[in-house]
């Protein structure tokens, strides 16, 4: 049925042909919309892999028909380009599945011109990009930095002045350039009534430093305060100063936190004089400078007994009273040395790190009774006692570490402790808040 009307499937014999008058008009050969018939395509016969490729004959471009080649055969007619080029090499014209590719065009493809890369002038030697910097080939004109300089270079270097020696690491902090303007402490804050009618007890060292500033700030915020100290004279002088500055005199009680009896007496005095205890401030602490190899057992035990065990004794004594009332807040005074290492401070840093851990663990137990326990971690709060027991060079170094270039005022630390005791932090417990302008 080749050349007849109808679909290609009918002409191939894969279906029963219908009469010519039963076929649609678009399937007739003379229909105007039907494309012209295609010329048969030529397929290349595969060439065995071991058969050599014949070169094209020298006179193949003359176009003579049925000419006899050198082997006695005939060349095909027309413009058979493959005949002009010779037999294809093995595997030519095959796809991935082994079938020969079909050529879609009879005309030859245009010759592609090779693109010339644009080379930009570079004043520097550019290394090729590799997967790692270590794989970049070094410039042969440059010697290895680990190799020594040559004789000429050594002669040149010997004539140049030697650089000044670098200062030791500790002195480097003291000699580093600092800004001409060193920030001064802000003005003293006004009262905001954060502890109105709250009953606050401050343990130990209320006569100086952070303890004294804390007692004053609590009274200024409207709290009823009872302060304690191991020194009776210093405790009385502190009460007189607070009364002169605020117009209200705090209650006092002698207490040594290393004594269990004194601690229980302080809790009883707070309940008796104030009615109940809402806030308990643990401010006990003792430091000092001592290398480990020269530190005695007594020196180690004394620092830990006052700083860590004293805080534990106070918690053990006051928590039953707060559990019974179903409310309360405890604020412990830790130190940034519990996080950051510093020489000659092993005993003090170990004690303050223990205060941090004690704060977190005790807070988990007290949460069931609606009692919050938090801590502050100041870095450097300057007060007369600290300036007396610390060398001047070390104080300058510690101040240079601070981002503000100065030590904190004691009342700046007391402000954070007051905040943790107020109702503004009712959801905070077991937290250690850093009062510092340096990295921990």
E strands in 218-365: 224-229, 251-254, 279-282, 328-333
Which run of H or E residues covers position 376?
strand 371-378
Helix (H, G, I), strand (E, B) or coil at 433: strand
**DSSP string across 257-282:** TT-HHHHHHHHHHHHHHHSS-SEEEE
* Helix, strand and coil in the chain, % to nearest 5: 40, 10, 50
Helix (H, G, I), strand (E, B) or coil at 374: strand
Q: Which among 188, 348, 424, 427 is annotated as catalytic?
A: 348
Does 348 qualify as catalytic in the annotation?
A: yes
- CA 396 – CA 414 distance, rounded (Å): 23
- List the one residue out of 285, 261, 269, 286 whose CA is nearest residue 201: 269
- List the one residue out of 261, 260, 282 whose CA is nearest residue 200: 282
Give how far Cα 387 sits from Cα of 4, 18, 158, 390, Å. 116, 117, 48, 5
- The pair of three-digit structure tokens given for residue 18, joined into one six-digit string: 């219908």
Q: Give the residues across from 203 on adjacent strands.
A: 282
User: Counting Cβ atoms within 10 Å, is residue 41 exposed (0-12), middle (13-18) or buried (19+)?
Assistant: exposed
Question: Are the CB atoms for 330 and 361 separated by under 8 Å?
Answer: no
Question: Are the CB atoms for 68 and 74 separated by under 8 Å?
Answer: yes
Helix (H, G, I), strand (E, B) or coil at 291: coil
- Helices first, then strands: H and E counts in the chain: 13, 7
- DSSP character at residue 229: E
Helix (H, G, I), strand (E, B) or coil at 62: helix
- The pair of three-digit structure tokens given for residue 117, joined into one six-digit string: 């890369």
* Cβ neighbours of residue 194 closer than 8 Å, sequence gap 6 or more: 221, 222, 418, 419, 421, 422, 423, 424
- CA 303 – CA 337 distance, rounded (Å): 14
Sign of CA dihedral 196, 197, 203, 204: positive
Catalytic residue positions, numbered: 348
């Amino acid at each position: 049925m080749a050349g007849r009307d109808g679909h290609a499937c009918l002409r191939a014999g894969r279906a029963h042909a219908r009469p010519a008058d039963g076929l649609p008009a678009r399937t007739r050969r003379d229909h105007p919309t039907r494309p012209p018939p295609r010329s048969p395509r030529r397929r290349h016969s595969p060439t065995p892999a071991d058969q050599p490729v014949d070169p094209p004959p020298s006179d193949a471009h003359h176009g003579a028909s049925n000419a006899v080649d050198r082997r006695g055969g005939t060349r095909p007619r027309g413009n058979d380009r493959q005949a002009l080029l010779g037999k294809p090499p093995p595997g030519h014209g095959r796809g991935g599945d082994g079938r020969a590719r079909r050529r879609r065009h009879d005309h030859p493809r245009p010759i592609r011109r090779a693109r010339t890369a644009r080379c930009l002038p570079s004043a520097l030697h550019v290394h090729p990009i590799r997967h790692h910097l270590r794989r970049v080939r070094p410039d042969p004109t440059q010697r290895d930095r680990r190799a020594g300089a040559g004789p000429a270079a050594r002669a040149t270097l010997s004539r140049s002045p030697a650089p000044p020696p670098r200062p030791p690491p500790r002195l480097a902090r003291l000699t580093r350039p600092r800004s001409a303007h060193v920030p001064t402490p802000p003005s003293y804050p006004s009262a905001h009534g954060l502890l109105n009618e709250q009953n606050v007890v401050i343990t130990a060292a209320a006569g100086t430093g952070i303890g004294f500033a804390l007692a004053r700030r609590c009274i200024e915020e409207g709290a009823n305060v009872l302060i304690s100290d191991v020194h009776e004279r210093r405790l009385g002088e502190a009460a007189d100063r607070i009364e002169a500055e605020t117009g209200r005199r705090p209650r006092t009680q002698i207490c040594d936190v290393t004594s269990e009896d004194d601690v229980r007496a302080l809790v009883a005095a707070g309940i008796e004089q104030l009615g109940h205890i809402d806030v308990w401030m643990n401010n006990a602490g003792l430091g000092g400078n001592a290398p480990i190899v020269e530190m005695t057992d007594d020196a180690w035990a004394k620092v830990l007994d006052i700083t860590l065990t004293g805080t534990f004794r106070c918690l053990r004594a006051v928590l039953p009273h707060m559990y019974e009332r179903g409310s309360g807040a405890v604020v412990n005074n830790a130190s940034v040395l519990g996080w950051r290492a510093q020489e000659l401070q092993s005993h003090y840093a170990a004690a303050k790190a223990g205060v941090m851990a004690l704060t977190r663990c005790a807070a988990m137990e007290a949460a069931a009774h609606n009692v919050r326990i938090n801590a502050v971690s100041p870095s450097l709060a300057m007060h007369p006692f600290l300036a007396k027991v610390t060398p001047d060079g070390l104080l300058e170094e510690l101040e240079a570490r601070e981002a503000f270039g100065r030590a904190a005022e004691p009342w700046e630390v007391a402000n954070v402790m007051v905040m943790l005791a107020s109702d503004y932090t009712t959801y905070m417990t077991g937290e250690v808040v850093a009062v510092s302008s340096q990295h921990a």
